[in-house]
Homo-oligomer: A and B are copies of this chain.
Amino acid sequence: MGEVVALPDGVQAGSPGHLLTLLRAGSASTRPQLAAITGLARSTVAQRVDALLATGLVIEDGATASTGGRPATRLRFRPDAGLVLVGDLGATHARVGVTDLAGAVLAEVAEDVDIAAGPGAVLDWLGAHFADLLSSIGRSADEVRGVGIGVPGPVEHDSGRPVSPPIMPGWDAYPIPEHFAERFPGAPVLVDNDVNIMALGEYWTSFRRSVDDLLFIKVGTGIGCGIVASGRIHRGAQGAAGDLGHVQVPGYEDAVCRCGNVACVEAIAGGQALADRLRAAGHDTRNARAVVELVAAGDRDAIRMVRDAGRTLGHVLAAAVNFFNPAVIVIGGDVANAHEPLLAGIREVVYQRSLPLATRHLRVVHSQLGDGAGIRGASAMVVEHLLAPATVDELVTTAAADRAAN
């Protein structure tokens, strides 16, 4: 049995979608290179490249330097062949953007918005911002190839419906994609949990070339986790995976959590819990951001409390490291802006309590994207769907059938 050539999951070897994958990755940039990598006949490659050129996803872009023979025409993926609209909806704050098909942010805006206003009002607001952003860069709705939205609750990803989301009154089972079906016909609308899209944003922007398994921990008002397993978001049986905030920390049975249980890590180490405790000690801290400001100002109570929160979170993460064995843990969310004391506390316990093998190459790092992780992840979610080889093959087939019919 010969060597099996490794292809990404779902890639049909040598199909137009596969060729596009090779061009996007920079593995090839000419027809002869595509033929050499895939083993296809040059005539077959030429035919399939023509099909890709017809979709507009690929363009011819000058000639390569000659090495004696006739110079080959250079092929290039064209990120500008379409637009992606993205929205990262938090509990009280949202970020909206337009990206190209390489995930580059072309325009964005951040505003306060109350998710509890319900799906009708919030999605109308989102739609209005989509329209404003498009017109601000002089582009039209016709160019929109897909829409990606993150929401602060569990989502049934296949249908784009929230599932019993605790802080989103009125959204349970609401079919978010249908809200945009008429305005952007033919553009898929993908919805996921906000922490999942942040995890995907961090993964795609900084780690996908070197890492398969990553955890993204959001330490904000509450605590959540996005899981990347083998390069994909792990959502679990009910789309509820990653809910680390309600793991119990024994010894804190007097800490009552908003979920109805006691001693949840979120009720001890979450941003709101820290703000409440500091306020009880006489500080003017209404929320997680105020806690971070106090840390930045050098307040010793606040610094010690954040470091303790890091240790508490470290116990939960040590268990997650033993269980999941990630290569990287990225810490984000408002409280993560307190930087060193939080990470020091986390690292202290994770390296003490996890198995040596699991921490041998483990990196625990700050988010590099901050508040921008969500829209980048929402874009990556949509782009990877749109440019998946199977989707591209289907697009090519449909386009050819349309041409044949005309």
Interface secondary structure of A, over-half rule: loop
Residues in B neighbouring A297, C-beta threshold 8 A:
none
Contact among B1, B163, B227, B326 for A391, CB-based, below 8 A: B1
A242 contacts chain B at the CB level, 8 A cutoff: yes
Could you tell me the distance between the alpha carbons of A262 and B242 in the complex, rounded to whole angstroms? 27
A307 contacts chain B at the CB level, 8 A cutoff: no
Q: Are B237 and A319 in contact (CB under 8 A)?
A: no
- Give chain B nearest CB distance to A140 CB in angstroms: 18
Could you tell me the distance between the alpha carbons of A357 and B1 in the complex, rounded to whole angstroms? 46
Residues in B neighbouring A188, C-beta threshold 8 A:
1
Q: Are B394 and A237 in contact (CB under 8 A)?
A: no
Could you tell me the distance between the alpha carbons of A244 and B353 in the complex, rounded to whole angstroms? 12
Residues in B neighbouring A227, C-beta threshold 8 A:
323-324
Residue on B with the closest CB to A265? B319
Contact among B248, B325, B391 for A240, CB-based, below 8 A: B325
Residue on B with the closest CB to A356? B164
Residue on B with the closest CB to A243? B322
Q: Are B324 and A246 in contact (CB under 8 A)?
A: no
A186 contacts chain B at the CB level, 8 A cutoff: yes
Q: Which of A349-396 contact B (CB under 8 A)?
A: 352-353, 355-358, 360-362, 386, 388, 390-391, 394-395
A182 contacts chain B at the CB level, 8 A cutoff: no
**Please, what's the 1-or-0 string for A234-253, where 1 marks a CB less than 8 Å from any CB in chain B?**
11111111111011111100
A7 contacts chain B at the CB level, 8 A cutoff: yes
Q: Which of A1-45 contact B (CB under 8 A)?
A: 1-5, 7, 9-13
Residues in B neighbouring A291, C-beta threshold 8 A:
none
Q: Are A325 and B247 in contact (CB under 8 A)?
A: no
Could you tell me the distance between the alpha carbons of A308 and B21 in the complex, rounded to whole angstroms? 54
Most interface-central of A9, A240, A246 (chain B CB within 10 A): A240
Q: Which of A210-267 contact B (CB under 8 A)?
A: 211-213, 225, 227, 229-230, 232, 234-244, 246-251, 259, 261
- Give chain B nearest CB distance to A229 CB in angstroms: 5
Stoichiometry (number of copies): 2
Contact among B10, B251, B360 for A250, CB-based, below 8 A: B251
Residue on B with the closest CB to A8? B10
A315 contacts chain B at the CB level, 8 A cutoff: yes
A87 contacts chain B at the CB level, 8 A cutoff: no
A206 contacts chain B at the CB level, 8 A cutoff: no
Residues in B neighbouring A225, C-beta threshold 8 A:
323
Could you tell me the distance between the alpha carbons of A241 and B232 in the complex, rounded to whole angstroms? 17
24 pairs from A and B in contact (CB 8 Å cutoff): A1-B188, A4-B390, A4-B391, A7-B10, A10-B10, A12-B12, A154-B357, A225-B323, A229-B229, A230-B232, A235-B325, A236-B324, A237-B362, A238-B325, A238-B360, A240-B322, A240-B325, A241-B324, A244-B322, A246-B322, A248-B315, A249-B250, A319-B319, A320-B323
- A-side interface residues toward B, CB under 8 Å? 1-5, 7, 9-13, 154, 163-164, 186, 188, 211-213, 225, 227, 229-230, 232, 234-244, 246-251, 259, 261, 315-316, 318-320, 322-327, 352-353, 355-358, 360-362, 386, 388, 390-391, 394-395, 397-398
